[in-house]
Amino acid sequence: MERTFTYIVGKEDAGKDIRTFLRARGYSRHILASMKPVRDAVLVNGEHQYMRFPLSEGDVLCTKVRDTESSVNVIPAPVPFDIAYEDEDLLVISKWADTAIHPAPGHPANTLANGVALYFQQKGIPYVFRCINRLDRDTTGLLIVAKNILSASVLETALQKHEIRRTYLAVAEGLVPEEGTIFLPIARKEGSLIERCVDLQTGDRAVTHFRTIRHMEDRSLVELHLETGRTHQIRVHMAAAGHPLMGDTLYNPDGIPGIGRQALHSARLDFVHPITGEQMHFESPLPEDMQALLQP
């Protein structure tokens, strides 16, 4: 996929070279290196220039970023997903349950990556799958997929800086306190490739903020915000707090019968658009199976 960007150089950027100007706009060193051999990748006022060229106020700087090949190891396949938003730079997708993000030996062609690959194949567009925030196989809801290397670079940096606000809804066992924050480090459980656990000695920093929306007789609807993004973070933290998610057989195998999956949904995403700088907000309603858990 190819994307062209145009910038008008302002007074505040006059005198900066092209490399400095682009680095401030999220171009990684890898992106800049990939552009160097391409004659028309960097144009100033319609003429090719090198990265050290000094810019002047009013200059028109055009860049081209390219993905020349699709993700060759991802087989296009009809895996369903819903599109909440799409433009030239990103997709916001609402993922279904029982859908892993990436292919693996146990599921080589029934993942979100396969479905997105087919979507772009049908459009005749080369595409590299770049999923910014990840969801467990049976967690539903919103995630961001970057459509080019620049939007991916900017969004990945925003994620690392905790500038992408992720809001989850979960149905947890018991009466969860009104609000609070869980500070418990998380590590891989010894002897397991999948399971995580709280480990006060060797675990990585993990912080989850929660607020209870509704109490029922033996369960609670809880809103959660991730400050960090450890694997299975919400599931591990809620189980450690004594309120495991309903249906989470990995972290609560003897729990209350649920819905055949952990009752967890990525309900809202807030972030700044990687190219336009516009504030973006998306919401996804609670799935029907989770709504059923809240019925009297």
Q: Hey, which residues are catalytic here?
A: 136
Measured on CA atoms in the order 111, 116, 117, 119, is the torsion positive or negative? Answer: positive
User: What does residue 170 show for φ and ψ, rounded to 5 degrees?
Assistant: -140, 150
Pick from 107, 125, 167, 118: nearest CA to 143: 167
Show Cβ contacts of residue 54 under 8 Å, excluding neighbours closer than 6 positions: 15, 16, 17
Pairwise CA distance, residues 110 & 78, whole Å = 8
Q: Which residues, at least 6 apart from 97, have a Cβ–Cβ distance to it below 8 Å?
A: 138, 139, 140, 261, 287, 289
The DSSP string of 76-140 is ------EEEEE-SSEEEEEEPSS--SS-BTTBSSSSHHHHHHHHHHHHT-----EESS---TT-E
Of 145, 33, 38, which is closest to residue 83 (Cα–Cα)? 145
